[in-house]
Chains A and B, each alone.
Chain A
Amino acid sequence: MRQIRALISLVRWDCILELRRLDAVLNMSLFAVFMLWLASFAVSSDKEAQARIGPLIFWIAILFAGTVGLSRAFLVEQAGGVLTGVLTAPVDHGVFYLAKVAATWLYMMVMELFLLGAYVVLFNFTHWERVPFLLGTMAGFTLGYAAVGIVIAGMTAVIRGGEVVLRVLLFPVLVPMVIAILEASESVFPGISLTETQRLSRPLVILIALDTIYLTVGYVLFPKVVEE
C-alpha cells in the first residue's frame, strides 16, 4: 500500500539526515554512558551494591538519555517549515507518527547497545546467556517509550519551556513500563536463576501489551497534536 511505502520513505530519510549529523545517537550515547560511568564510581568497591544499583542506573540512563532523542525528533522538523510540508503531503498523519516512532526507536536502540557495552565493562557483566532476553526487554521498553514520547514531544516542541515539561509529563506516564522492566531486570541481572520460564515471559508479555496500547493510542492522538 502506498502509505506503507511512504512510511518506509519517511524513516529512510530521517535516518539519512541522522547519519549526516549524528546529533541524536551521539548525544544520547554520550549522555547515557557518562551517567553510567558516574554511577559506577559510587559503587566501584562494593560488589553487592554494584549488583543492585547497576541495573537501576542502566534503565535510568536510558530513561533520561531518551528524552534527547525525542526532542531532536521535532527539532529536525522546525527549520524551513518542513513539518507543514510533510503534513500537507498526501501522507496520513498517523503514518507520520509511526515513522517518527520507528526512527526514534532505531536511534535509541543504537544508544542502548553502546550503553550495554559500557555496562559489560564497568559492571563486569558476563552472563552472556541472558543477553537475548535483555535485548528483548530493551527493545520492548524502547518501543513503548517512543510511542508515548513522540506524542508528548510533539506537543512540547512547540511550547515555551517545552524541554522541561517534556520530562515532567513523560516520566510519570512511563511508570507502568518501568515497573515491567524492573520485574524483567530481576531475571537478567545476577541473583536469579533462569529456570523459571514464567518469570521470563511475563514481563515481555506485559511490555508487548503496553506497546500495543501506546502505539494504538498514539496513532489516534498524534494527528490531533499536529492539527492547526
Chain B
Amino acid sequence: MSPPASETPPSEPRKTQFAAAVRVTGLRKRFGYRDALAGIDLEIPARGCFTLLGPNGAGKSTLLRIIGLSMRPTAGRVEVLGREASRDGAVRNGEALRSQIGLVFHESFLRGELTLEENLRYYAELHGLDRSDSQRRAGDLMDRLGLFKRARDPVRTFSTGMMKRASIIRSLLHRPRLWVLDEPFSGLDQEGAGLLEAIIGEEKTAGRAVVLVTHDAELGLRLGDDAAFIAAGSLRARGKAVVKEFMASAGGSGAS
C-alpha cells in the first residue's frame, strides 16, 4: 500500500514543531464527589507508540478522552500537539486539534442505518477532506482491513469485530497526527489483531504518535516505545523498564 501523495488536509496550518504529542500538568477530573484523575503530570513523546497500562477503573479511559478532546478537565493544564487544550484552549484550538486527532474508543461512532461507505463519506465531509482523495483512501483502508466487500452494507449488520475494524478505518481517514486507541484489540480476532499491530507499526515508522490503552500488558509493552502505569487516578510508573518492574513487584496487577 503506497503512502498517499499529500499528508496535509486542505485548510488548517499545522504546527509541525512540538516537543511532545501530549503534555498534561496537574490534571484532575472529578465526577460527582470522586476524582477519576487526581493530579497527573505526564508527557507523551511526539513520535512512536505510548502504552498506558493499569487496572480497571484506574482512569485510563478518562485520560484518553481528555487527550482526545471529548472531555474537559476539572483542573490542570492540557497541551496536545503543542496547542493548549484545557478549558478555553479547547474552544479556541478545538477545530485545529480535532482535525489532527484520530480516536478509536469503545463506541464505534458509526451510524447503524448508514452503510460503511456512507459512514466514511460522512466523516470525510465533517473533516472537510477532498472527495476523491478520501474516497480512494477509504477504499484502501477498507481493502486493507478486509471490509471492502461489506462497503455497501448497513453498519448495524456488522459483527463486533467488523465494527471495530470499521471504527479503525474511520479514525484513520483524515491521516491523524495523533492516534488515540482505547482497548482497540477488544473484539478483534487474530487476523484483525495482526492487521492492527501492523498499522500501529506503520504509524510509528511514519513518525506519528500513537497512544494505546490495553489490558494486555505483554502486548502493550511489546508495541510501545514508551509506557506508563496508572492506578486510582495517579501515575505510578513511567518508562517501560520502570513499568515492567512495577508490575512485576505488584504481582502482575497490570493485566486485569
Contacts and interface: CB of A to CB of B under 8 A. Distances in A.
Direct interface between A and B, CB < 8 A: yes
Contacts of B96: 90
B126 A86 contact: yes
B99 interface: yes
B156 to A, nearest CB: 8
Contacts of B128: 2, 5-6, 90
A88 B113 CA distance: 21
Interface stretch (A45-53, A75-83, A125-133, A176-184): A75-83
Interface stretch (A13-21, A35-43, A191-199): A13-21
A17 B98 contact: no
B126 A80 contact: no
Contact of A88 (B69, B106, B111, B122): B69
Nearest to B107: A81
Contacts, number: 79
Nearest to B108: A80
Nearest to B121: A13
Contacts of B112: 79-80
A217 to B, nearest CB: 17
B109 A82 contact: yes
A84 B123 contact: no
B202 interface: no
Interface in B22-79: 65, 68-72
A228 B72 contact: yes
A116 to B, nearest CB: 30
A5 B101 CA distance: 20
A188 B35 CA distance: 59
B54 to A, nearest CB: 21
Nearest to B126: A89
A81 B69 CA distance: 15
A90 B126 contact: yes
A85 interface: yes
Contact of A80 (B12, B94, B110, B123): B110
B70 A87 contact: yes
Contacts of B101: 88
A92 B114 CA distance: 23
A91 interface: yes
Interface majority SS (helix, strand, loop, mixed), chain B: loop
B107 A91 contact: no
Nearest to A12: B125
A95 to B, nearest CB: 10
B11 interface: yes
A17 B113 contact: yes
A216 interface: no
A25 to B, nearest CB: 16
A91 B126 contact: yes
Nearest to B98: A90
Contacts of A80: 107-112, 155
A91 to B, nearest CB: 6
B111 A20 contact: no
Interface in A78-128: 79-82, 84-92
B95 interface: yes
A81 B72 contact: no
16 contacts: A2-B11, A5-B125, A6-B125, A17-B113, A80-B155, A81-B105, A84-B70, A87-B70, A88-B68, A89-B123, A89-B126, A90-B12, A90-B126, A90-B127, A228-B65, A228-B70
Given A13-B122, A80-B155, 10 more contacts: A2-B10, A10-B126, A16-B118, A21-B113, A80-B111, A81-B105, A85-B107, A88-B98, A88-B109, A92-B94
